[in-house]
Structure 1
């Protein structure tokens, strides 16, 4: 694969990809510390961290009896009339939770703008969603949220959750999505009788480098919403909890080891939908996202939870953080080419591609091959694979297999071998392995020659799928070992990358819009 206006990603000659400087995979997060920062973390780990952790646990236990009393006899279908004692419980819980966050280093919570009343905007849309620390605005207002059904059974925490009257989503109920939307609509149209609902429309956590696609659930009722943007202006981002990156406990540990953590909550003006937006929730969601992106000064990228599944793949062929397969997946979804792609469909596509015997197609030929009219989006897909205005459709089939079944990477590799292998011995040569690996990973900077030599121990110049699989299973950190890591441009203007192997040293693109989503909720 290649990137538009850049060097070809799957080129056999191994030229480095020119990743766009503005792009960052929103589903990955990498932390790097200086020696001084590591020393500070070590000192805080044995001093401040255990104290903060114990105090936070104590505050949770202190909040439990208040929430327990308030939820006795509470109905999930109707709103109880307000009473002075429930008001006191609400006030006490807000104070306890604020103390909890203070003990964790969130000494000041900067709030901008005016929070709307439930009767003015029954739904609050929060973004970007990047961490469980995003619960801070929830505990400040005790607004309802959309949560998993299983959350109600968590000791202590489950009782606190029930107090805020959440909308529960059941994964075991196939009709759960419809019921959730109906419940949100029912509460939103109650003229302020129910508490406000806080919704993270991205539906999954990102690293706050952009705003990904908004899900339409919060916008289906067609009522006014108040956009709320979150910022964490800290020197080190120990907050982000993404699909690729530090785990939940590591994020908690590193954050509690920081002397001070900052958060900003900005309430934007209420957004009242037009008649057109009321009829089209997707348009409503898109326009609200543009308003929030402008306030955050962030690009908007049409990635979704489906795309972040590419970042969830573990094993020797887990995707690098700057893979352009995210962009390929987005373009396929826009063209409607991802739906209905089964294992059988991919096998048939593999057979069709093999019959071409490497014959390269131009743009018109590619459109005819997939039976799709030539559009600007299809041209963008073609540009990902083309070299000298021609492409090998086998690369398209490989990439299609990766994005449509990311967790079946061995099936994808086997399919790729079948398309390239010689009929007499079922083997491929080094140049063909280069095409396969760089297309599967969506990057150019893989030291294929070293991989091939490591597999071809008999120096035959050929390898089979079984030999490749045995090598991969014995090398679980394959991408780390054979992936060139980009360094800053050197003083003479040349780019360098370092192959991180034990004994060898060798020398993110997306369309975005600047106009006004481990962690799936």
Structure 2
């Protein structure tokens, strides 16, 4: 079964607290909705329309691969568009915005890294600087908005192109090494929106070019340009280390903690499946290794069925590290050894590949509990009757929850009403349909210390929403990686 790592860190998810508004506040909101809001909306829309001809004029004749000199009239258009966008945000309620620090020149820091990313309003720095951003290619075809987007010369990502990610990184690298000819590129390295209570893991895309970056922290109602961060030789070779050190500096400026868990980890912890992960689950560590090894399949259903069929043919035969690597068609590496160790229950250098397939199913489709159980039954069931024993059910559920010990006696007895000593998937499915909270009723009550995560039924509010209560200086995985910025 998945073995618990020595150091565990709770992962907390977003918690929304709804406050009741006083009657006077509700009346005020209603009044402003029918009076002030339409005026603000019309003014913002008018500013967008006003910006379009200027953006269109400045975009005519532009090349996507070369950058033209910033002549006087283009600089004038740039200033006019910034003023128009500022009026638009003013109409939207952003009356006064403070900018602290000096924005670096493109030749000094070709890339601006912004965090935390929490809403669409984070586009304010883009409109104030007219820096380039990374956007999906479909955006440029949107009427009116597409023209404004093309003006800032974004790096477009195409969903239909399988090599789009590689091309995007190459384009960012090309612009970053242009010596300041291209506009700066603004990148939100978190890769998603959070609730601003901490900084989650930075994606390495902004740091692969190995050029100086300028961290920009967004703290409503202002933003702060931090000093330029120039990577060391080691960081140039290791974008992940570069990203970690920049994140530490930004977290310190914001006064918020950091977590090495990513948005994907939070999604897994929050999944509303019928098997809700406990707070000490090892599946989060497993999911990290799956991503780092590139083992998360694109065609999930097809790959899982293929793995399931191959695992069934092995009939519970234990695999060593080399056989495990051959099954996955990957070379043996330190990360693969870490993955193997999670399933090496008795430290005898062997594992049951069926457990790997179950864990992969949970990580790839966490909300589809019955689909995972159907796949597990298929791998474990006896050929003569298509049924499994209580011990086999315990193996399946322990792996699906990512825990070391689990008693399933009450659950198995409840399903096996005829006391045959075996159950089929059809019996399990019917029981689950009749008892949708079977995990809470039969597993958590029978197993002391097994509790669903804070995203679910018995939740307690963490100190800061998504993040556990620890500071950047206390986090063991990044100690010693701090580097002074210049």
- TM-score if structure 1 supplies the norm length? 0.66
SS in 2 for 1:229: strand
Tell me how large the CA RMSD over aligned residues is: 4.9
- Which residue is equivalent to 1:63? 51
Distance 1:401 1:78, change over 3 A: same
Identify the residue that residue 77 of structure 2 maps to in structure 1.
89
Task: Indicate how the Cα distance of structure 1 residues 429 and 324 shifts in structure 2: closer, same or farther if over 3 A, else same.
Answer: same
User: CA–CA distance in 2 between the matches of 1:455 and 1:264?
Assistant: 58
Q: How does 1:65-464 map to 2 (within 5 A)?
A: 65-208=53-196, 210-231=198-219, 262-296=220-254, 297-301=256-260, 303=262, 310=268, 324-334=282-292, 342-343=303-304, 344-352=306-314, 354-355=316-317, 370=324, 382=341, 393=352, 394-403=354-363, 411-422=371-382, 424-428=384-388, 433=393, 436-437=396-397, 439-442=399-402, 463-464=423-424
Post-superposition offset of 1:230: 2.6
Q: Is the contact between residue 385 and residue 396 of structure 1 (CA under 8 Å) also seen in structure 2?
A: no
What residue in structure 2 maps to residue 466 of structure 1?
Answer: 426
Q: Which runs of 5+ in 2 are unaligned?
A: 326-330, 446-453, 460-466, 469-474
Secondary structure of the residue that 2:64 maps to in structure 1?
coil
Q: Where does the alignment leave 5 or more consecutive residues of structure 1 unmatched?
A: 7-18, 232-261, 357-364, 486-494, 501-507, 517-521
State the partner residue of 1:30: 15
User: How many matched pairs?
Assistant: 445
For the residues of structure 1 that align with 2:425 and 2:163, how far apart are their CA atoms? Answer: 42
- Partner SS, residue 114 of structure 2: strand
The Cα of 1:124 is off from its aligned counterpart by 0.9
* In structure 2, distance between residues paired with 1:312 and 1:24: 9
Quick one: distance in 2 between partners of 1:205 and 1:322?
Answer: 25
Distance 1:322 1:63 in 2: 52
Conserved in 2, the CA contact under 8 Å of 1:316 and 1:475? no
- 1:248 corresponds to: none
Residue 125 of structure 1 contacts residue 201 of structure 1 at CA under 8 Å; is this kept in 2? yes
Measured in 1, the distance between the counterparts of 2:210 and 2:420 equals 66
CA offset at residue 138 of structure 1?
A: 1.0
Cα distance in structure 1, aligned partners of 2:167 and 2:143: 26
CA deviations on 1:43-88 (whole Å, 9 max, x unpaired) are 6367348545555444433433332333233332333333444333
Distance 2:384 2:33 in 1: 67
Comparing 264-273 and 388-397, the one that deviates more? 388-397
Shifted more, 472-481 versus 209-218: the winner is 472-481
Counterpart Cα distance in 1 of 2:30 and 2:413: 45
Measured against aligned partners, the alpha-carbon deviations of 1:151-174 in whole angstroms (never above 9, x if no partner) come to 011222212111111111222223
Tell me if structure 1 keeps the 8 A contact 2:52–2:147: yes
CA contact (8 A) 2:190 2:203 kept: yes
Q: Provide the rounded CA distance (Å) in 2 between the counterparts of 1:103 and 1:441.
A: 50
| Counterpart-to-counterpart distance in 1, 2:378 and 2:145 | 52
CA contact (8 A) 1:398 1:440 kept: yes
Query: Are the structure 2 counterparts of residues 513 and 156 from structure 1 closer, same or farther at C-alpha, using a change threshold of 3 Å?
Result: same
Distance across 2 between alignment mates of 1:109 and 1:377: 49
